[in-house]
Amino acid sequence: MKTLSSAARIYPFTKLQKIFLPIVAAIVIGSVALMIFKQPNYGIDFAGGTVIQIRYDSGVPTDAIRSALSGTVFDGAQIQEFGGPDEAVIKAPAASNSLGLDVGDQIREILKDTGGFEIRKIDMVGAKVGEQLRSAGTMAVFFSLVGILLYVAFRFEWRFAIAATLCAAHDVIVTLGFILLFNVPINLDILAAVLTVLGYSLNDTIVVFDRIREIMGKPGVSELNDTIDEAITKTLSRTILTSLTTLFVVFATYMLGGELLKPLSLVLIAGITIGTLSSIFVAAYLLKPFGVSVSAWRIKEAEKARIKAEKIRMRSLYERSAV
């Protein structure tokens, strides 16, 4: 552990590469394998179907509901308690969309002998609409990654841009692997969570990259590993505190927000954790394979400063001659 000053220390994160990089690679490979071999659990938004939310006067008779739905167009529907012991959600496959606009009347007729209840909400999504939403969601993630690439290339340079994009792609892949592993229903809310994780991860990565650029411009550090260690050390408290405060809120939402918000909160908890760890253990190290060098960076920045100074001098000479 190297001393930065009397009040700060630099932690040797780069020396841990041999330990955590194989772990990261294994997690990514496992996530990709899940994406290839495991069938996603698409929600109504992406698969199409009908969701009916009902409230009973006293307790949800799950077995009676399942028995009543058997042999009807709702046969095979999922029945889940929702928000409390008196409410339930019936999720029917896309075929039930052929019922038309009288779904409420039909469900009242089918369940009339299961007890007193009221229909709170009915949502219907066609299979074709669900397919279009899946396609649009994939494009949203793709264009987000392209936007990250362009933004970081403009603010830093192309090597930083590729590293940031690869780190963001890592976060998306691992988050999707988590979703598939725990069979989380994939719908528009989950897509919003994945895009939120993308933005969160990029924010942490930019903070680290900005500190790396700042340190490379100062004398005293000549090796990229030392620069990375110092940059991560200096941003570590900010990264951890920001993530913890966000996780506290999301965890509270998961525990107290009801069944509807649990999948969204669970994905956000996993994604924020993944994004935080990747900004510490992945993002900066991706600069090394692309040949980022402290000395080359300083030469490049010195040349930029020389050109800028020359432009200022020429402008000053022109203004004097004009007078």
Q: Beta-carbon neighbour count of residue 70 at 10 Å?
A: 12
- C-beta of residue 80 within 8 angstroms of C-beta of residue 89: yes
Quote the Cα angle for 35-39-40, to 5°: 80
Q: Beta-carbon neighbour count of residue 155 at 10 Å?
A: 14
Among the candidates 100, 125, 150, a domain finishes at 125
Q: Beta-carbon neighbour count of residue 126 at 10 Å?
A: 13
Residues of the chain with pLDDT under 70: 1-8, 83, 94-101, 126-130, 220-221, 297-298, 301-302, 318-323
Is 76 within the bounds of a domain? yes
Among the candidates 66, 95, 125, a domain finishes at 125
Q: What is the CATH number of the domain that holds 60?
A: 3.30.70.100
The alpha carbon of residue 146 and the mean position of all alpha carbons in its chain are separated, in whole angstroms, by: 15
Q: Do 119 and 133 belong together in one domain?
A: no
- The residue among 143, 201, 130 whose CA lies nearest residue 172 is 201
Q: Do 145 and 287 belong together in one domain?
A: yes
Q: Please state whether the predicted TM-score (pTM) of the whole model is above 0.85.
A: no
Among the candidates 73, 101, 125, a domain finishes at 125
Q: Do 34 and 69 belong together in one domain?
A: no
pLDDT score for 57: 81
Spatial distance between the Cα atoms of 5 and 233, rounded to a whole number of angstroms: 12
Q: What is the CATH number of the domain that holds 208?
A: 1.20.1640.10
Number of independent structural domains in the chain: 2
Q: Do 206 and 144 belong together in one domain?
A: yes
Q: Do 68 and 180 belong together in one domain?
A: no
Distances (CA, A) of 283 to 61, 186, 213, 269, 277: 51, 27, 14, 20, 9
Spatial distance between the Cα atoms of 253 and 79, rounded to a whole number of angstroms: 23
Q: Do 169 and 285 belong together in one domain?
A: yes
Q: Do 154 and 113 belong together in one domain?
A: no
Q: Per residue in 90-107, pLDDT tens?
A: 887 755 444 454 777 788
Q: Do 100 and 230 belong together in one domain?
A: no
- The residue among 234, 187, 214 whose CA lies nearest residue 91 is 187
Is 155 within the bounds of a domain? yes
Q: Per residue in 146-193, pLDDT tens?
A: 888 888 888 778 888 888 888 889 999 999 999 999 988 888 888 888
- Segments forming the whole domain that contains residue 96: 49-125
Is 322 within the bounds of a domain? no
Listed in order, strand segments (DSSP E) in 115-191 are 117-125
